[in-house]
Amino acid sequence: MNKKTLNNLLLILLFFAFLSTGCAHKPLKSLPETSGDAPITQAPETLPDKAEQTPSSPDVEQTFKDDLFEKEFEVQEVRVADPLSSWNKGMFHFNDKLYFWVLKPLARGYTAITPDVFRRGVKNFFYNLTMPVRLVNCLFQGKGNAAASEFSRFVVNTTAGGLGFGNPADQNPDLVVSTGEDLGQTFGKYGIGNGFYIVWPFLGPSTLRDSVGLVGDYFLNPLSYVEYSETWMALKGFDLVNQTSFHIGEYEALKNSALDPYVALRNSYLQYREKKIKE
């Protein structure tokens, strides 16, 4: 049995171990933090100053410009197995229709009647509430300074910020924002591979590793312990609509610019996660 097979088997066992501990009493729903992210590309190299340029022939100059253009749109490919492509494409189309038919209209209507300051306050509140997820994963990854920053920001924003609706911690340069650590990133830091690609209904793109991470983070999220499922679903739905109101148009731009939107979203997600793990 090779290393890749052992890696996938370990992730599958972890996934079902988490499920068996009792998370099925509520539907697992969380924000697909990557569903609205644009493709991540490498920064283009800076063009040298005119004083440093040497005379060159038109052909050489054109070649240089062509190379610069290619590097500007160069994307570091992350290869991940996609054995569930039939399921994944079906869920991609399901989520696509859900976004355009339900989520986007709700978010646009919500934006039209809700002041920006209120929407930002709600965003701050839910972000502040999920501090335990980021704190624990910072500790797991040995990021002591980031963990201390997360805890300090939580204390400041919960007290001076009015239960987290305000964000006065941003005014303190010592309280830098962490990279938003989660258990999927922690697994990646410890060398556990993606496993295979999978698209979940409502949740969007993921991998086997990140799916296991979502289940683990579920138990660190205070919202998971709301007593009534109806209340929990209402809070999660409100958070999702509020988050979407800040990102209307991003998914559309990705989809319209891609020859194959399914492949574009998959690559965008994988590149984004790879970048987060390396931070």
- pLDDT at position 167, please? 93
Per-residue pLDDT, averaged over 8-31, amounts to 46
**38: pLDDT strictly greater than 60:** no
**What whole-number percentage of the chain has pLDDT above 90?**
66
Burial 112-151 (b: 16+ CB within 10 A, else e): eeeeeeebebbbbbbbbbbbbbbbbbbbbbebeebbbbbb
**67: pLDDT strictly greater than 70:** no
**What whole-number percentage of the chain has pLDDT above 70?**
72
Phi-psi region at 163: left, alpha or beta (left = phi > 0; alpha = psi -120 to 50)? left
pTM: 0.72
- pLDDT at position 186, please? 97
Tens digits of residue pLDDT in 154-211: 999 999 999 999 999 998 888 877 678 999 999 999 999 999 999 999 999 999 999 9
Integer Cα distance of 79 and 218 in angstroms: 27
Integer Cα distance of 122 and 106 in angstroms: 16
